[in-house]
Amino acid sequence: MSRIAINKINIEADGLKHANISNLPDWPSQKITAQDYTIATNFQRVISRYPHHKQQYSISNFKDISWLCQRWLEILPLTHQQLLYCIMQDDHQMALAMLRRHFKLN
């Protein structure tokens, strides 16, 4: 997931909106720990229902907890505010804490 910051939004006379953006650094990769295997297993279970999507991912992706957190953020029914709060962080730790609470891993 590429992260961006919206610097300025312009609205043309016809209502067309465009923005100036800045790229934000990607979250650093981190090897998954035994504690968080449930997060990977449940994501694999969800995408197994969608073979077209499943084939887009390599096995190595499921070993990166940062990558997994980003994929969960794409599909969880979060409010816009919750999603923004997570993705504006410098790393995946906030999203991981939320997923651990969701899956009752703490």
What pairs with residue 5 in β-bridges? 22
- pTM for the full model? 0.80
pLDDT for the residue numbered 73: 94
* Sequential pLDDT tens for the chain (106 residues): 578 888 999 999 999 999 999 998 999 999 999 999 999 999 999 998 988 877 788 888 899 999 999 999 999 999 999 998 999 899 999 999 999 998 888 6
The whole-angstrom separation of Cα 8 and Cα 76 is: 28
**All structural domains of the chain:** 25-102 (1.10.4060)
